[in-house]
């Protein structure tokens, strides 16, 4: 595959310049550079000798050529770096679409991927961590606690670098078999005393940073075929990345070059919650992982929704992945066109890939390869009529909602598997608490933020930085309106498997309801105007082949068919048994 490769050369008078290789392919010997461009307010464009366009440089890369020429980075060898090797000029002999499509191969084929970390990293703690390593087997729990204790007073940790937050760098890290992490700013320890509340906030921030790193490591192992890696394997990889700064995934962890057959690029990217400055990159950074996907012509002139609709409708993509709407267009904005109402409602300017992919999911097509587009999904009406009822969004009503609705008819295990890691239903890890208890526990946490500061300070944080569940007098402290609003937000996240920003957008146009059916009550989300205006005889409960991922549709009869206006929870076995009983009796 043709690509551009460059190297740093020195002129006779000592100045440095970029030299482009006349002809290069991914079969050449080269290093690939992975880095974060930096925030727009700190990046400055500069002219680099040998490059015909202005290059955006972050503060840590102002002397970019001297940096790259370091022996521990590129030396005088050939390398690929997006700043110099994605050519958007009219004279480029490789089209921009082909250059973007080549990025996965660029990183997979490189001799090594060098990751540039620009954040300050405490030398004292790094030396202490390496001493732990040299003294023998590390007690994982003890080490991680010491790491947090140090971080509460000195926050300069490698795991807090923005590289672990950006989407493009995630992809680059997944592709690489050999990774070297280069700390550009080692600094002296800067311990600063903090009061109890500040220390608690810092503690939670550190946990969030570390969670993002562990999410990447789990994804990295899954990409290479280790879908159920043991906890000590993940910790070993964590230490290799954060402290030893190098890893050969195929040799050290007995993996194969990715992607593994079981790897789901859409779902795993969504769970990463990473961000990028341009919404279109939520498609361009992920979909090239799907064999057969083609970047359309002039992708930089297309919006995120346009690129996504193009991607999921490409035959090669739909042949491999079945896309399913978690929140369809009919929920957020009703359509008189039945097919359009099935399509996912998309956030135009998402804050991260979690929000970008929140409203749909994807699963591998069955062995027969009979995947179909969302709009072509077949639906059929379930027996019996339905009624839509308002939910009792109070503290006293919560117990009934959980016991008589959620616990009775929802497939809790499937919901736990599909919940957004950034939502309020799962805490700060992917490990779900006991299915019967997690709803009550985390609902209380969702509203605890509204407590007065004095009462907040009286709550002693747990060791892991999570507030303990509070008592039933919560509504007295935060008020009924706040509790009701937080409960509705929580339930949208629970029912649809989305994050809070997405839930807020949904609740601008939709409501949480109890769907009364002959097979038991089902919690659901439905377009508000439809709930208020539609007659009972106009509503239908609809099933599709993907109901195991999205629940049942709530449909409205329209001329020429049915328009989707809502969805329910994913039904459990008891509901399906009732449906089969109805069908067998011919009701």
Q: Which two tokens stand for residue 508?
A: 């601008």
pLDDT at 243 exceeding the cut of 60: yes
Q: Residues 83, 72: contact at Cβ < 8 Å?
A: no
Polymer length in residues for the chain:
587
pLDDT in tens, 41-80: 888 999 999 999 999 999 889 999 999 999 999 999 999 9
Domain count, the chain: 1
Sort strands 112-122 and 178-187 into parallel, antiparallel or unpaired.
parallel
pLDDT in tens, 547-568: 888 899 999 988 778 889 999 9
In a domain, 322, yes or no: yes
In a domain, 327, yes or no: yes
Residue with structure tokens 């709803």? 439
Give percent of the chain with pLDDT exceeding 90: 45
Residue with structure tokens 């909602």? 401
Show the beta-strand stretches assigned E in 464-552.
510-516, 522-527, 539-544
Residue 573: closest CA among 435, 358, 409, 396: 409
In a domain, 347, yes or no: yes
Cα 195 from Cα 183, distance rounded (Å): 30
Q: Which two tokens stand for residue 304?
A: 């995120």
pLDDT in tens, 131-168: 988 888 888 889 999 999 899 889 899 999 999 999 99
Q: Give alpha helix (H) positions in 325-364.
A: 329-332, 338-342, 353-356
State the DSSP code for 270: H
Could you check whether the bond before residue 259 is cis, i.e. omega within 30 degrees of 0?
yes
Cα 551 from Cα 104, distance rounded (Å): 35
Q: Residues 492, 401: contact at Cβ < 8 Å?
A: no
C-alpha distance across the termini of the chain, in Å: 61
In a domain, 481, yes or no: no
In a domain, 286, yes or no: yes
Summarize the chain as % helix, strand, coil (round to 5): 45, 20, 40
Residue 49: closest CA among 21, 17, 81: 17
Query: What's the pTM?
Result: 0.82
In a domain, 340, yes or no: yes
pLDDT at 441 exceeding the cut of 50: no
Q: What DSSP string runs through 106-146?
A: HHHHSSEEEEEEEEEEEHHHHHHHHHHHHTSS--HHHHHHH
Predicted confidence at residue 413, as pLDDT, reads 83
State the DSSP code for 374: G
What is the number of other CB atoms lying within 10 angstroms of the CB of residue 444?
20
434 confidence band (pLDDT: 50, 70, 90)? very low
Predicted confidence at residue 77, as pLDDT, reads 96
Predicted confidence at residue 586, as pLDDT, reads 61
User: What is the extent of the structural domain holding 295?
Assistant: 266-364
What mean pLDDT comes out for the span 385-390? 90
pLDDT at 217 exceeding the cut of 90: yes
In a domain, 310, yes or no: yes
pLDDT in tens, 459-486: 433 323 333 343 455 566 667 777 788 8
pLDDT at 334 exceeding the cut of 70: no
Residue 446: closest CA among 403, 404, 504, 391: 504
Angle, in degrees to the nearest 10, between helices 140-153 and 123-134: 170
Give percent of the chain with pLDDT exceeding 70: 87
pLDDT in tens, 161-186: 999 999 999 999 999 999 999 999 99
In a domain, 444, yes or no: no
């Amino acid at each position: 595959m043709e690509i551009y490769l460059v190297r740093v050369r020195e002129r006779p008078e000592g100045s440095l310049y970029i030299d482009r290789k006349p002809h290069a392919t991914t079969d050449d010997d080269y290093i690939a550079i992975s880095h974060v461009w930096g925030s727009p307010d700190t990046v400055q464009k500069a002219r680099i000798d040998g490059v015909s366009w202005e290059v955006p440089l972050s503060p840590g890369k102002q002397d970019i050529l001297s940096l790259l020429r370091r022996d521990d980075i590129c030396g005088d060898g050939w390398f690929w770096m997006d700043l110099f090797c994605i050519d958007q000029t009219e004279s480029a002999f490789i089209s921009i679409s082909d250059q973007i499509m080549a990025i996965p191969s660029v990183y997979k084929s490189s001799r090594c991927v060098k990751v540039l970390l620009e954040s300050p990293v405490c030398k004292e703690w790094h030396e202490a961590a390496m001493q732990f390593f040299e003294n023998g087997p590390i007690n994982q729990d003890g080490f991680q606690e010491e790491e947090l204790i140090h971080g509460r007073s000195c926050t300069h940790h490698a795991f807090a670098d923005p590289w672990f937050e950006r989407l493009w760098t995630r992809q680059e890290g997944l592709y690489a078999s050999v990774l070297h992490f280069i700390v550009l700013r080692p600094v002296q320890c800067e311990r600063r005393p903090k009061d109890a509340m500040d220390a608690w906030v810092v503690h939670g921030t550190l946990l969030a940073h570390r969670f993002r790193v562990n999410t990447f490591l789990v994804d990295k192992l899954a990409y290479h075929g280790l879908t159920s890696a043991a906890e000590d394997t993940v910790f070993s990889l964590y230490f290799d990345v954060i402290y030893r700064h190098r890893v050969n995934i195929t040799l050290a962890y007995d993996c194969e070059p990715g992607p593994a057959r079981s790897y789901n690029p859409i779902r795993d990217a969504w769970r990463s919650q990473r961000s990028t400055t341009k919404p279109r990159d939520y498609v361009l950074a992920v979909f090239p992982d799907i064999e057969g996907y083609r970047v359309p012509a002039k992708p930089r002139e297309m919006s995120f929704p346009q690129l996504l609709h193009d991607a999921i409708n490409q035959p090669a993509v739909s042949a491999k992945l079945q896309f399913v709407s978690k929140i369809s267009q009919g929920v957020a904005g009703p359509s008189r066109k039945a097919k359009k109402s099935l399509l996912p409602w998309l956030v135009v300017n998402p804050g991260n890939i979690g929000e970008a992919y929140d409203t749909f999911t994807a699963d591998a097509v069955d062995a027969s390869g009979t995947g179909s587009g969302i709009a072509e999904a077949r639906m059929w009406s379930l027996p019996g009529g339905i009624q839509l009822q308002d939910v009792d969004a109070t503290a006293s009503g919560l117990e009934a909602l959980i016991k008589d609705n959620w616990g009775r008819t929802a497939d809790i295990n499937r919901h736990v598997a599909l919940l957004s890691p950034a939502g309020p239903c799962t805490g700060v890890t992917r490990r779900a608490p006991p299915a019967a208890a997690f709803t009550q526990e985390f609902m209380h946490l969702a509203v605890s933020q509204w407590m007065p500061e004095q009462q907040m300070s009286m709550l002693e944080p747990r060791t892991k930085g999570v507030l303990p569940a509070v008592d039933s007098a919560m509504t007295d402290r935060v008020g009924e309106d706040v509790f009701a609003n937080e409960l509705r937000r929580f339930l949208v996240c629970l029912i649809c498997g989305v994050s809070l920003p997405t839930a807020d957008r949904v609740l601008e146009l939709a409501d949480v309801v109890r769907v009364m059916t002959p097979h038991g009550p089902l919690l659901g989300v439905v377009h508000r105007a439809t709930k208020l205006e539609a007659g009972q005889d106009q509503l239908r409960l609809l099933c599709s082949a993907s109901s195991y991922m999205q629940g049942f549709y709530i449909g409205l009869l329209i001329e020429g068919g049915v328009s989707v206006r809502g969805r329910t929870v994913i039904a459990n076995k008891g509901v399906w048994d009732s449906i089969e009983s109805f069908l067998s009796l011919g009701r």
